Amino acid sequence: MIYFEQAGRLGNQMFRYASARAMQVARGGKESIVAGMTNYEAHQYKDGFVDELVNFNIADFKRVNQPIVSFYPLRNKIIYRLLIQIPKLRQQPWRSFEANWAKTFNKVGIQFTHDGYYDFSIPKTKNVFMDGNFQDIKYFNGIKDILFKEFTPKRPEKEENEELYKAIRSTNSVCISIRRGDFLSSEFKGDFFVCGKDYFLKSMDEIKKHVENPTFIFFSDDIDWVRQNIKVDVPCCYESGSDPVWEKLRLMYSCKHFIISNSSFSWWAQYLGRYPDKVVISPDHWYNNKDINATCKMIQPEFIKIPCPYHE
């Protein structure tokens, strides 16, 4: 079996599922996938911390209300306790710990990676246990065609968005994803608030150099702020801000080009974009924390990168 620990909102859920699905395919495609879902109880199923994959055409997998570590064989549990639970090692920065021990865990069928990429071999163990964000295209890009089909919403396009879909499909549409919300909170701003107003203004000027007669399609968790603060001189449309997340993602990936924020959700929108000659603009770093940023693999070489200040 392939076990993976599910966590986060839709963008992070997609990274974790995609990597587990790719592992399943790499091991022959016949094993069952099992997801540990306890993360959502901890968040009380609020603020988007719910199982959003139920709304997509993904392969069937079993959901269990217990952490995947509870399924480890005895040998793995002993190794896990020795390496994870010794207080001296727990005081070590997680990324250093991960770099030192990730491949050792891989030999016994455990893969974890919270940032960056490890060139794991395919475990020959009976089961594989995957825990981490797996935020690198290398983990799953080999099954891109499968993911394009599976990350399509089960439900049809909402009728109230008919005109917006028409604008997206009939123009050189540019999806502009403006993440605000919790990125502005005291808890997360220090690490995550990278894309300020100036970034989007510069990105819109830049994309005009690459896309003829663009139409800007704005998406945001604070669409009123966008209407009031982002002024443009080209045709534009605004997603309502009230669509369910599965519909919002489809609207976004239906666009031809992308200006993304440093969020996993907007990353997936550009990845799932069907237009073969898409232009993607991103910030030049993903986190304000330079140590985390050093191992981050979210910004692809082909992206056009706009310099952003490191905010405190």
The values of phi and psi at residue 71, to 5°, are -95, -5
Residue 115 or residue 305, greater confidence: 305
289 vs 311, higher pLDDT: 289
Average pLDDT, rounded, for the chain: 90
What's the pLDDT score for residue 183? Answer: 53
pLDDT value at 123 more than 70: yes
Provide the pLDDT confidence category of residue 305 given band limits of 50, 70 and 90: very high
Most trustworthy range by pLDDT among 64-68, 108-112, 294-298, 304-308? 304-308
What is the distance of C-alpha 265 from the center of its chain? 5
- Is residue 312 within 8 Å of 190, Cβ to Cβ? yes
Residue 289: predicted pLDDT: 83
Degrees to nearest 5, angle at CA 29 with 28 and 34: 125
The angle subtended at Cα 239 by Cα 238 and Cα 241, nearest 5°, is: 120
Q: Which CATH number fits domain 158-306: 2.170.150.20, 3.20.20.70, 3.40.50.11350, 3.40.50.2000?
A: 3.40.50.11350
Residues 206 and 306 sit within 8 Å (Cβ to Cβ):
yes
pLDDT value of position 14: 98
pLDDT of residue 90: 62
The tens digit of pLDDT for each residue in 40-51 reads: 877 655 676 899
**Sheet holding 62-64: strands in order across?**
62-64, 33-36, 2-5, 128-132, 110-113
pLDDT in tens, 221-277: 999 999 999 999 999 999 999 999 999 999 999 999 999 999 999 999 999 999 999
Residue 309 has pLDDT above 80, yes or no: yes
The pLDDT of residue 187 is 56
Report, as an integer, the average pLDDT of 45-59: 87
Cα 39 from Cα 178, distance rounded (Å): 26
* For range 291-302, the mean pLDDT: 90
Over residues 165-195, the pLDDT tens digits come to 999 999 999 999 998 765 554 555 556 788 9
Q: What is the 3-state secondary structure (H, E, C) of the chain?
A: CEEEECCCCHHHHHHHHHHHHHHHHHCCCCCCEEEECHHHHHCCCCCCCCCHHHHECCCCCEEECCCHHHHCCHHHHHHHHHHHCCHHHHCCCHHHHHHHHHHHHHHCCEEEECCCCCCCCCCCCCCEEEEECCCCHHHCHHHHHHHHHHCCECCCCCHHHHHHHHHHHHCEEEEEEECCHHHHCCCCHHHHCCCCHHHHHHHHHHHCCCCCCEEEEEEECCHHHHHHHCCCCCCEEECCCCCCHHHHHHHHHCCCEEECCCCHHHHHHHHCCCCCCCCEEEECCCCCCHHHHCCCCCCCCCCEEECCCCCC
Tokens of 120: 């794991």
Nearest-angstrom CA–CA distance, 53 and 33 = 14
Please report the pLDDT score of residue 162 as a whole number. 98
Measured in residues, the chain has a length of 312
Residue 118: the pLDDT is 87
Does pLDDT of 86 surpass 70?
A: no
pLDDT confidence bin for 312, thresholds 50/70/90 = low
As to burial, measured by CB atoms within 10 angstroms (0-12 exposed, 13-18 middle, 19+ buried), residue 277 is exposed
* pTM of the full structure: 0.93
- Summarised one tens digit per residue, pLDDT across range 70-80 is 999 888 888 77
Residue 45: predicted pLDDT: 59
Give yes or no for a contact between 239 and 223, defined as CB atoms under 8 angstroms apart: yes
List the domain boundaries for the chain: 2-147, 158-306
